[in-house]
Amino acid sequence: MDILQMTQKLKGVLKEKRFIHSVNVSKTAAEIAHLFNVDPKKAEIAGLLHDCAKNFDKEVMRDIIIKNNLSKDEIILSEPALYHAVVGEYIARTEYGISDPDILEAIFYHTIGCGDMKPLSCVIYLADLIEPTRNWPEIEELRRLTYEDVNLALIRAFDISIIHVIGKGRAIHPNTIYGRNSFVKKVDMMKLQNLTAK
Ligand SMILES: [Fe+2]
Ligand SMILES: [Fe+2]
C-alpha cells in the first residue's frame, strides 16, 4: 500500500478532525525528522498512521488487545484512552501492511512514551503535540524548543503530557516517567532548571 492509498483508507475510518490531525502530524513529523536523523518518509508514514485506531469503539479495541495478546499491561488495560496506540500498531501491521519496526514502535509508544525511545518515536511524540492545529498555552514554547534542543523539548512534552493526565485524575504510566528520566540524563542541568523555573 502506498502513502496515497493509506491516506484514502484512513480518511474512510477517522472522523474529519482526527483525519486532519493525522495529516498534520504526518507533515510536522516529516519537517522535524532531520533533527533526529530520521528518514522523513518513515516519519511521514508513522505520523499519518499514529492515530489510525483512534475512532474505534473502546470495547472493540479492548477485544482486539485481548484476543491478539497485544498487551497484558494493567495500566493500559484499565485506561481506554491508551488503547488506540496499542491497537493502532496492530492495525498498521495487519491492515496497512507496515512491517518497519521503527514505525510500529513509534505508533505503539506515541501516548505513553518509553525509556530510551528510538529517534522516530521521539519525532512522532513531539509532532503529535506541536502540529499546527494544537493550540494550548505552552505550544509556542514547545515548538521553539523542538528546533533549539530536542532533548529539552521532549522533557517539556512529557511534562505537558503528565500534567494533562494528572488533570484528568488518571494513572500515569511508569513508561512515561522512564521516558522523561531518559532525557533528563541527556540535558544540561542548568538549562533544565531554567526551563522548569519559568
Ligand atoms: Fe493518539
Ligand atoms: Fe495524535
Residue 110: CATH number of its domain: 1.10.3210.10
**What is the number of the ligand closest to the CA of 82?**
1
Q: Model confidence over 6-54: pLDDT tens digits? A: 999 999 999 999 999 999 999 999 999 999 999 999 999 999 999 999 9
Tell me which residues of the chain have a pLDDT lower than 50: none
Q: What is the DSSP code string of 111-178?
A: TT--TT--HHHHHHHHHHHHSTT---TTHHHHHHHHHH-HHHHHHHHHHHHHHHHHHTT-PPPHHHHH
Sign of CA dihedral 86, 87, 89, 93: positive
Mark the residues whose beta carbon lies below 5 A from ion ligand 2: 51, 128
Residue 189: per-residue pLDDT? 85
**What is the number of the ligand closest to the CA of 84?**
1
pTM of the predicted protein model? 0.95
Q: Of 135, 126, 194, 138, which is closest to residue 163 (Cα–Cα)?
A: 138
How many domains are contained in the chain? 1
Q: Confirm if 38 and 123 have CB atoms less than 8 A apart.
A: yes
- Ligand 1 centroid–CA 54 distance in Å is 6
Q: Confirm if 122 and 65 have CB atoms less than 8 A apart.
A: no
Q: Confirm if 86 and 71 have CB atoms less than 8 A apart.
A: yes
Residue 103: per-residue pLDDT? 98
Distance CA 108, CA 98 (A): 13
- Ligand 2 centroid–CA 187 distance in Å is 26
The range of the structural domain enclosing residue 13 comes to 3-197
Residue 166: per-residue pLDDT? 95
